[in-house]
Amino acid sequence: MKSLWNDDEAQCWIDSANGDPAEVDLALRVYTSRLIGQEADLVLHGGGNTSVKTERAKEDGTLAETIHVKGSGWDLVTIEGPGLPAMWLEPLLTARDVPNMTDEEMVVFLRNEMLDQSGPNPSVEALLHAFLPAKFVDHTHSCAALAIADQPNAAELSQEIFGDELCVIPYVMPGFKLSHAADAIFQEKGEGANGLFLVNHGLFSHGDDARTSYERIIRYTDMCEQYLAEHGAALMPEEDGTKVDDPYAHAPIVSLKEALSSWDFFGEDGPFLDLRVSKANKKYLGTPDLEEVSSRGTATPDHVIRIKPRPMIGEAGFEAEDWAKAVRDYADWYEAYFERNAAKSDETKTMLDLLPRVALIRGLGIVGIGRNAKEAGVAADLAEQNARIIMSAEGIGRFTPLNEADLFELEYWSLEQAKLKKAA
């Protein structure tokens, strides 16, 4: 992976700030956030987040440190200044001394420190961004990094690839707990490190200026890509035009739609199905132990919200009754998954619909399923990306993502539920 930094473009962003130092910082933050957002192999569909610390004037005219963090509901590729709400930094740092906060309490705590109350909720990783001392912080779910982060020996691999350049953080649920845990580890072991390697989750980088932090994310992603290539497991290239224009020209898609339509959930026009055909998909679908490998979990925790913990699997020769059975089996599995995990939770969880968001059809392609074309497209994008990550991960060892219980916590996380409602 190469840096997309361009001095002329950066200068245009600087010029747009009319000489105000805080606005220059924000403009460059927007610029490199968009550079990250342009690379699907760094982040997809609202994943990842970025921040910048800069001084702004208080009511009495004195300057104080603030931090702008990506707001929820914004995508890095199209982000603008208002998509990075600012908070007073010093009060955020007092959260270091708060041992526990629910994520709902954390959202209120963050909002209380916002300079403009009309802004979106800052990312749930806002405190982690605040705790890291560097001015610019970038966080991605780079595909190549996930192929390595989803290994049983991810921590040793991180040491082998990055040495002490990145500080390894074992998996912790994103939000308040991760911010605290990562801060404690970074303070103890992070001296001289340029970022964090989050097992089962992704990468953080930081730097004193926008370019340094951004180019570190590129550097660490590139090191992962090189490692995979050197071990004969290069990430298969992302292909253009994998979306099939008329999926209903394929008989199994017609019968899949029919089988799903008998469930109320997808509405009168639904479900929407988005069929993707590519070399990588074909190879993945040809994996002999596809059922087992694909059922292990999603490559990064965020994805479970959009594509559930596992896909449904079928064959190109499936007819309506075969699909009806496959959907019923999936629903039975999902209900059991919900019950076995909800029983372990401290709070009451309300079960979501029982239906799959992804169908893997051997001999045909990968299908995203949604209540509208956008949802189906997002599911298909993430499923294709997971396929590429899983193949590379299996190529260097064993794809070992987040376990079921932790995935469930994420899928049924109250804040994530709120995010989905907002998007709808």
Q: Which of 317, 420, 328, 324 is nearest to 363 (CA)?
A: 317
Nearest residue to Zn ion by CB is: 202
| Residue 400 phi, psi dihedral angles, 5° rounding | -130, 80
In angstroms, what is the minimal distance from the CB of 349 to Zn ion? 22
- Contacts (CB under 5 A) with Zn ion, residues 322-361: none
- x/- string (CB under 5 A) for Zn ion, residues 184-203? ------------------x-
- In the three-class reduction of DSSP (H, G, I as helix; E, B as strand; rest coil), residue 124 is classed as coil
In angstroms, what is the minimal distance from the CB of 328 to Zn ion? 34
- In the three-class reduction of DSSP (H, G, I as helix; E, B as strand; rest coil), residue 304 is classed as helix
Cβ distance to Zn ion smaller for residue 202 or 368: 202
Cβ distance to Zn ion smaller for residue 255 or 300: 300
- Strands annotated E in 184-253: 195-198, 202-207
- x/- string (CB under 5 A) for Zn ion, residues 152-191? ----------------------------------------
- x/- string (CB under 5 A) for Zn ion, residues 197-236? -----x----------------------------------
Cβ distance to Zn ion smaller for residue 89 or 196: 196
Cβ distance to Zn ion smaller for residue 202 or 314: 202
In angstroms, what is the minimal distance from the CB of 51 to Zn ion? 13
Cβ distance to Zn ion smaller for residue 56 or 139: 139
Size of the site for Zn ion (CB under 5 A): 1
Largest CA distance in the chain: 72
Whether residue 358 contacts residue 368, with contact meaning beta carbons closer than 8 Å, is answered with yes
Whether a cis peptide bond, with omega within 30° of 0, leads into 271 is: yes
Whether residue 369 contacts residue 325, with contact meaning beta carbons closer than 8 Å, is answered with no
Cβ distance to Zn ion smaller for residue 129 or 257: 129
Contacts 24+ apart (CB under 8 A), 345-348: 345/408, 345/409, 345/412
In angstroms, what is the minimal distance from the CB of 299 to Zn ion? 12
Using CA atoms, how far apart are residues 177 and 364, in angstroms rounded to an integer?
Answer: 42
In angstroms, what is the minimal distance from the CB of 204 to Zn ion? 9
- Contacts (CB under 5 A) with Zn ion, residues 234-253: none
In angstroms, what is the minimal distance from the CB of 302 to Zn ion? 6
DSSP-assigned states of every residue in 65-122: EEEEEPBTT--GGG--GGGS-EEEHHHHHGGGG-----HHHHHHHHHHTBS-TTSPPB
Site for Zn ion, rule CB under 5 A: 202
